[in-house]
Structure 1
Amino acid sequence: MRLLATLLLTILFWVPAAAADDVAELAQTNRLLQAEFELAKSQKLYFIFDLQASEILYKVSGVTVARLPILSLRSWGRPADGIAYTLAKRTARKEPQREQIAIPDGREEEKPTPPPAPPKPGEPPKAPDLQALEIADMPTEYELQLDDGTLLSIRSTLPENASFQEKLRYYKDKYSWFISRSLISLSQHRQGSSYNEMRLTLPEREARMLYWSFQEGGRCLVHWP
């Protein structure tokens, strides 16, 4: 009898809590749809960081044109009511740079890309793969700062051919993340502000693609978990 009473009380308390979670999720989904409708009308590229579905969507006029998987997610804090954002700042550990060459007056200019090799007899000419060259130069470790101060930290998986130093830095960053964020959060709290960060791990090429395509001033929506 006592067991039955305990089960009934558990159900009575659990159902309102579950219903409240469902209502909150429906409210967020509704706000997300309304915000996306406004972005879709611009007919410009925008991004959806769907953290619940573990993916990043590239969209134009409401149509998905690309999809990037999120392999893992870590979170520290969370913005209260944010849905739509503008990318305010993009910072990489190692910014992409084009090779420079010196000219006689002492200045430097970008080294032009060499022309493609002529096709062999019997082979059709190949179009230059400029997009692939651009993406290959992009970093895999960077921070995307949204206009409310929230950070989306992007990392890629550790390459199989990584050096000892790269492995050491990778694991140091991975296992000290919560400790370092605690210190940053404490410092921000003393200054009267909060610290919110999401750490997203993507495949290496997808991490480069996101940096290449998501420019400062770009718009995005975030579906929080």
Structure 2
Amino acid sequence: MFPLRILIFSILLALSHQALSFPHPHNLLRENLLLKSEYQLAKSYPFYLSLNLVESRIQLKSKGLLLKEFPIKTLKIMGTPVPTKPLPIKKKVSFFKPKEIKIKPQKNVEDVSSDIPALGVEDMPSRYRLDLNEGVHLYIRPIYPHRILNALNLLSSLKTYGVTLPMRTLWGILRNKTYTQIDLYLTSEDAKALYWVAREGIPCLIFSP
């Protein structure tokens, strides 16, 4: 209950600050809806992701308590506006998927090894896509310390803006469906850690500009 009280206090503090600063009514209503949605997530779900694109950070929370934060180095938003409601992760898509560990059954119990291999965060992909409800797609891309490796991001961006985004936007219009693409650039370590915690079904709440 203590983390929930902190969350409630933060919401009330944010609302009072908004009342004093006289923001645009549409933005005020939108932010209030997001804060109410986060309060409901904190009560109903053990874990959820909060994507604050205004402050460039992704947070893994449980019952309103911050567990892990992933700073966003840079981001791009394209397509239709993001819905002001929780969006669960439907699917994770990556070119290099984590290798499955297969344990061969042994006839004799004595032959079973006690050293069972396990996958860690370092084994996760750093470049992938998270498909959410309502046609929202998060493209996670790593930022490397070397320029040569970052050339992959440039090639990926050219493909996105020249082929993927126009085709999917047109396809969405023809099918009367929305399409939103958000490119999020993180460090390679944070991108892998986010893949580890972003399980299918976990709700995401997006605070967009």
Q: Say yes or no: does 1:135 pair with 2:137.
A: no
Q: What residue in structure 2 maps to residue 152 of structure 1?
A: 138
Q: CA deviation at 1:89?
A: 1.1
Q: What residue in structure 1 maps to residue 35 of structure 2?
A: 33
Residues of 2 paired with 1:43 and 1:184: CA distance? Answer: 32
Aligned length: 184
Candidates 127, 150, 153, aligned match of 1:170: 153
The answer as to whether partners of 1:158 and 1:170 remain within 8 angstroms in 2 is no
Distance change in 2, residues 1:78/1:138 (3 Å): same
Structure 1 runs not aligned, ≥5 long = 1-18, 106-111, 117-129
Q: CA RMSD in A?
A: 3.1
TM score, norm. by length of structure 1: 0.70
Structure 2 runs not aligned, ≥5 long = 1-20, 108-112
Residues of 2 paired with 1:81 and 1:42: CA distance? Answer: 20
Q: What residue in structure 2 maps to residue 69 of structure 1?
A: 71
- Kindly indicate which of the two structures has a greater share of residues assigned to helix: 2
Q: What residue in structure 1 maps to residue 7 of structure 2?
A: none
Q: CA deviation at 1:172?
A: 1.3
Q: What residue in structure 2 maps to residue 202 of structure 1?
A: 186
The answer as to whether partners of 1:59 and 1:65 remain within 8 angstroms in 2 is yes
SS in 2 for 1:81: coil
Residues of 2 paired with 1:53 and 1:205: CA distance? Answer: 20
Q: Say yes or no: does 1:185 pair with 2:169.
A: yes
Q: Which has the larger radius of gyration?
A: 1
Q: Superposed, which structure 2 residues align to 1:14-163 within 5 Å?
A: 22-42=24-44, 44-79=46-81, 81-98=83-100, 100=102, 114=115, 134-160=120-146
Q: What residue in structure 2 maps to residue 220 of structure 1?
A: 204
The answer as to whether partners of 2:87 and 2:203 remain within 8 angstroms in 1 is yes
SS in 2 for 1:172: helix
Distance change in 2, residues 1:185/1:85 (3 Å): same
Distance change in 2, residues 1:189/1:113 (3 Å): farther
SS in 2 for 1:148: helix
State the identity as a percent. 27
